[in-house]
Amino acid sequence: MRSAEPAIRPIARRIVGRFGMTVREAPVDLPAILPNPDHPFGLYVHVPFCVTRCGYCDFNTYTPAELGGVNPDAWLLAVRTELELAAARLNAPTVNTVFVGGGTPSLLGGERLATLLGMVREHFVLASDAEVTTEANPESTWPEFFGAIRAAGYTRVSLGMQSVAPRVLATLDRVHSPGRAAAAAGEALAAGFQHVNLDLIYGTPGESDDDLLRSVDAAVESGVDHVSAYALVVEEGTAMARRVRSGELAVPENDVLAHRYELVDARLTEAGLAWYEVSNWSRPGGQCQHNLGYWDGGQWWGVGPGAHGYVGATRWWNVKHPNTYAEMLAARALPVKDYEQLEAGALHTEDVLLKIRLRQGLPLAGLDAAERERAKAVVADGLLTSDGDRLVLTDRGRLLADAVVRTLLG
């Protein structure tokens, strides 16, 4: 369960670009912003550390060899300052969700993750029913780790499983053994977590239908209440993109990816996990509330190098390099690289793009007259159903969600 993108990954974590040298940057001040109390408010915390870089990953992450200065403890110190400055800027709103993503948050260990949540509580008020999630890589977790973060107040864990097929894991440069992710999920459940997610990737070069179905079955049999499945996206600038370009790897055609999605959906539905967003399935009560905030009009502050925030009509993004990030906060300046203020048209486009992906659907009231007319044609084509006052994707419509959005918006 990546922090917030549908099949295209979370908006708060759309941290693209490659690592580079430290560059001193002048701070950019944000305009006056205050959260809307009628919408949920979340914190996304980006942990930029990884032991190795997976060949398909283009997130803002760094291996030890790529960092000459900031280590996890220095990063924590900088994060504490950003949380302090953010709380002052926002007048310390109540936090409904916290999502610690990366990178590899589990590399911090249980004690540092507990410290991080303590720092959030130091500067913000957590709602009594706040959802607190951390991502984790199976190879950097163990029973005591899960016990420590559960005792600290984390309520949800998301583990990167990707596949149980050794050849698929090798192509993805994943270092955990085929059975480790399911075993880690069991350890999290035994530690008292009610909400555990396993992430799958389908469409890896060389993957077969059987590879995928064995992976889905392993996720179901682990007992988790949430599964995310994303089609592999070969991003420019990654090692995998270079292998594809050289002809070493061949990515599946779109019709193969559609078939694989249908396999995932059928097997998870049969097992009692219902889709609630195009790339996410859960048992009743298992939906990720933080990601629902991204898709359904929520607001959040993004903490950490390269993190994005969104409050009101203002979106901003932090400087990417951890050393620059720490330097700016040491000077008590918000580490903002730049921001944009979205006008009504852009806000409407994003509203349609994100809400159409949800099982609860897109409210008809949010569409203008021309869009409602175009919606009738999409319903006639069998890609949408009109469920009272909402438009909901059909099974076939989920495969063509982007095309549905383009048609609705004209």
pLDDT digits over 373-404, tens only? 999 999 999 999 997 899 999 999 999 999 99
* Choice between 25 and 36, residue whose per-residue pLDDT is larger: 36
**What percentage of residues in the chain have a pLDDT greater than 70?**
92
* Domain boundaries of the chain, sorted by first residue: 32-341, 344-409
pLDDT tens track for 209-241:
999 999 999 999 999 999 999 998 888 888 887
pLDDT of residue 7: 31
Residue pLDDT, tens place only, 29-55: 899 998 988 899 999 999 999 887 776
Q: What is the mean pLDDT of residues 100-128?
A: 96
* Number of helices and strands in the chain (H, E): 14, 15
Tokens of 106: 């589990």
Give the pLDDT score at 25: 54
Domain over 32-341 is classified CATH 3.30.70.100: no
Q: Is the per-residue pLDDT at 23 higher than 50?
A: no
Mean pLDDT across 183-196: 98
b/e sequence 9-45, b meaning 16+ C-beta within 10 Å: bbbbbbbeeebeebeebeebeeeebebeeebbbbbbb
What is residue 9's predicted lDDT score, i.e. its pLDDT?
Answer: 34
Per the prediction, the chain carries an average pLDDT of 90
For residue 17, what pLDDT is reported? 27
Q: Could you tell me which CATH class the domain 344-409 is placed in?
A: mainly alpha
Residue 377 neighbours by CB distance under 10 Å: 12
pTM higher than the cut 0.85: yes
Of 61-75, 109-123, 298-312, give the lowest mean pLDDT range.
Answer: 61-75
Whether residue 43 contacts residue 98, with contact meaning beta carbons closer than 8 Å, is answered with yes
pLDDT of amino acid 302:
98
- Tokens 């060949």 belong to 55
